[in-house]
């Protein structure tokens, strides 16, 4: 670590108005794109890569990293306000953020999301700066067995997000895993469960499914109950969380930032997985797990710290190995190449200045995100105060156009409506929706790696317990399952007690 060069790079970003301006433009654009349903950080970076042609590498990369950081936070805004995760990475934020918004605490949730995003992003960027080569060596140890174990560990979180009934949660999860098998088989290419539809050959598109299950189902629910549900009085009195909120969430922020960075550094595992794993961990270690799902601020802090830390983590394999950690860094890899730079070990030898500029830009982008986010909170939180007869139609249109935008395909809009109806029915039958989402994210990774491992071993299952990292992850998954089930029992007992005492749970 060359501190002198690092400080020079920091100066290159902070003291050059053109670079600083690009960071702020990137962050503001990223937050907007992240907050719009259907538009992901990947799409934002991909759309804006052409604008970096002909600009110096420092400016270009600063803007793209600004978009990346901004979009990771932006996803939480719509997750909290309208139950529509702007990006898949913000899907877990819905679990606690939306109930907080419904309790009139949108400002509190948004400010915590911003603060946790800043902390997570900064911790992730610092770890990237100091531990890049070390962490990337660890990530290189991952083969199919380890990836399968990691996916199974992620799936063990289903128990924690099952709500009242573990059985219904597991059923939702299995249904999600079955949905994830729709389309081409990842190994042989055989089309499965496509009902003869070409549009389903690549599986149900993730963003339309996400929007349908969470946004459309909620809009239908809200339309049905208009006049019955009480009007929300959002308190928009803060830009940063209270000291009390920071105090109760700090442990989770630090823990989730470390989890997020570690998961982000493993190629193929993104912010969505990191957020769910961190949420599961926050609930598991909480003194009041029975309150999770009713709007707990630590839950928002955990998911947002994790998904933003992931961006720092995902840069580690990109910079040190030339292997993108997630979809956004895959697009960033293209941006590096456009600039005539090839990420990987040679980048450290031949363009160390660029590497340090990336470190510095990432840190500055997180500060810019905090400032732009603070300026926007009052504006964003007002959305929830708009009358339902105006808000519902506009969100409905935004959801349908958002699902169209990804592939410009009307079939995806129909898919969104179908999943919206399914989500609405499942909500009525008290089936949790989040396990479906988690299974859709982890399903392809689970199946492909399990089959790869078994193909390598020619069907011998002992390969699954032949690697130390995998064994450690299996043990963690088993522990997470046991603790999750015990917690669910505790939650049911506490809920029963509060009902007997005539108290409102939560």
Partner 1 sequence: MRIHDIAGGAVGAGIGLYALIQGAKMPPDHIMKIGPSFFPSLVAAVLIGFSALLALQGALSRKPGGFERVDFRSFGIWRALLSLGAAAAYTALLRPVGFLPMTVLFILALMLLLGARGPLGLVLVPLAATAGVWLVFEQVLLITLPVGLLGLLGF
**Contact partners, residue 66, CB within 8 Å, separation at least 6:** 22, 23, 24, 25, 26, 27, 29, 30, 361, 365, 368, 369
* Contact region with partner 1 (CB under 8 A), list: 5-13, 339-347, 370-378, 412-420: 412-420
Give buried/exposed letters for 347-383 (b at 16+ CB in 10 A, else e).
Answer: bbeebeebbbbbbbbbbbbbbbbbebbbebbeebbeb
Residue 118 pairs with which residues in a beta bridge? none
Work out whether 501 is an interface residue with partner 1 (CB under 8 A).
Answer: no
Work out whether 20 is an interface residue with partner 1 (CB under 8 A).
Answer: no
* Contact region with partner 1 (CB under 8 A), list: 264-272, 330-338, 447-455, 485-493: 447-455
Nearer to partner 1, 344 or 414 (CB): 414
In whole angstroms, the minimum distance from the beta carbon of 455 to partner 1 comes to: 5
Residue with tokens 């496509």: 194
Residue 192 pairs with which residues in a beta bridge? 183
Residue with tokens 């433009």: 25
Nearer to partner 1, 97 or 402 (CB): 402
Nearer to partner 1, 137 or 430 (CB): 430
3-state secondary structure of 191: strand
* Contact region with partner 1 (CB under 8 A), list: 76-84, 225-233, 237-245, 479-487: 225-233
Work out whether 39 is an interface residue with partner 1 (CB under 8 A).
Answer: yes
Q: Which of 4, 196, 227, 340 binds partner 1 (CB under 8 A)?
A: 227
Chain positions 117 to 176 lying near partner 1, rule: CB under 8 A, are 165, 167-168, 170-171, 174-175
| CA angle (448 as vertex; 188, 310 as ends), nearest 5 | 140
Work out whether 429 is an interface residue with partner 1 (CB under 8 A).
Answer: yes
Say how far apart CA 224 and CA 218 lie, in whole Å.
10
Nearest by Cα to 5 from 366, 364, 368, 360: 360
Q: Which of 450, 463, 464, 477 binds partner 1 (CB under 8 A)?
A: 450
Size of the site for partner 1 (CB under 8 A): 66
Q: Which of 405, 422, 442, 473 binds partner 1 (CB under 8 A)?
A: 405
Residue 313 tokens, joined? 């983590």
* Contact region with partner 1 (CB under 8 A), list: 123-131, 178-186, 246-254, 264-272: 178-186
In whole angstroms, the minimum distance from the beta carbon of 141 to partner 1 comes to: 24
In whole angstroms, the minimum distance from the beta carbon of 501 to partner 1 comes to: 18
Residue with tokens 């660890």: 138
Residue 498 CB neighbour total at 10 angstroms? 14
Nearer to partner 1, 79 or 151 (CB): 151
Work out whether 2 is an interface residue with partner 1 (CB under 8 A).
Answer: no
* Contact region with partner 1 (CB under 8 A), list: 288-296, 332-340, 376-384, 449-457: 449-457
Say how far apart CA 484 and CA 154 lie, in whole Å.
13
3-state secondary structure of 187: coil
In whole angstroms, the minimum distance from the beta carbon of 386 to partner 1 comes to: 10
Nearest by Cα to 59 from 354, 366, 373, 368: 354
Contact 384, 232 (CB under 8 A): yes
Residues that bind partner 1 (CB under 8 A): 33, 36, 39, 43, 47, 165, 167-168, 170-171, 174-175, 177-178, 181, 185, 187-188, 190, 192-193, 216, 219-221, 223-228, 387-390, 392-394, 396-398, 400-401, 404-405, 408, 410, 413-414, 417, 420-421, 424, 427-431, 446-447, 450-451, 454-455, 458-459
């Amino acid at each position: 670590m060359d501190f002198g060069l690092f400080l020079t790079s920091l100066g290159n970003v902070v003291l050059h108005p053109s670079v600083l301006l690009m960071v702020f433009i990137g962050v503001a654009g990223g937050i907007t794109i992240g907050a719009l349903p259907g538009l992901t950080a990947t799409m934002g970076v991909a759309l804006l890569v052409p604008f970096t042609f002909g600009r110096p590498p420092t400016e270009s990369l600063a803007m793209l990293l600004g978009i990346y950081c901004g979009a990771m936070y932006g996803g939480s805004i719509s997750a909290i306000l309208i139950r529509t995760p702007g990006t898949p990475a913000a899907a877990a934020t819905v679990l606690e953020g939306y109930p907080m918004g419904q309790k009139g605490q949108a400002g509190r949730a948004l400010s915590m999301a911003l603060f946790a995003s800043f902390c997570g992003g900064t911790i992730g960027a610092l770890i990237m700066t100091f531990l890049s080569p070390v962490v990337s060596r660890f990530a290189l140890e991952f083969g199919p067995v380890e990836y399968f174990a990691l996916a199974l560990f992620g799936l063990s979180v289903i128990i924690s997000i099952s709500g009242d009934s573990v059985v219904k949660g597991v059923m939702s999860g299995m249904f999600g895993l079955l949905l994830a098998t729709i389309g081409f088989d990842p190994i042989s290419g055989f089309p499965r469960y496509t009902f003869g539809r070409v549009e389903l050959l690549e599986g149900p598109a993730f963003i339309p499914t996400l929007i349908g299950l969470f946004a459309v189902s909620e809009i239908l629910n809200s339309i049905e109950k208009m006049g019955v549900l009480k009007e929300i009085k959002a308190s928009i009195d803060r830009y940063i969380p209270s000291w009390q909120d920071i105090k109760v969430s700090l442990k989770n922020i630090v823990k989730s930032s470390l989890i997020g960075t570690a998961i982000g550094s493993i190629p193929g595992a993104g912010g969505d997985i990191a957020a769910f794993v961190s949420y599961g961990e926050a609930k598991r270690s909480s003194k009041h797990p029975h309150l999770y799902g009713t709007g707990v601020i630590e839950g928002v802090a955990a998911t947002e710290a994790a998904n933003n830390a992931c961006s720092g983590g995902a840069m580690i394999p990109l910079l040190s190995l030339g292997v993108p950690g997630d979809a956004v860094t895959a697009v960033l890899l293209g941006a590096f190449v456009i600039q005539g730079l090839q990420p990987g070990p040679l980048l450290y030898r031949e363009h160390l200045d660029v590497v340090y500029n990336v470190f510095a830009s990432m840190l500055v982008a997180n500060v810019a995100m905090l400032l732009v986010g603070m300026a926007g909170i009052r504006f964003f939180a007002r959305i929830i105060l708009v009358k339902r007869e105006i808000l519902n139609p506009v969100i409905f249109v935004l959801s349908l156009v958002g699902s169209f935008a990804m592939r410009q395909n009307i079939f995806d809009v129909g898919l969104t409506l179908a999943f919206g109806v399914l989500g609405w029915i499942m909500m009525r039958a008290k089936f949790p929706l989040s396990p479906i989402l988690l299974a859709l994210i982890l399903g392809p990774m689970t199946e492909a790696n399990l089959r790869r491992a078994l193909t390598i071993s020619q069907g011998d299952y002992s390969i699954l317990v032949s690697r130390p990292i995998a064994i450690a992850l299996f043990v963690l998954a088993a522990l997470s399952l046991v603790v999750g089930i015990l917690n669910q029992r505790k939650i049911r007992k506490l809920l029963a007690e509060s009902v007997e005492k005539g108290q409102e749970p939560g």
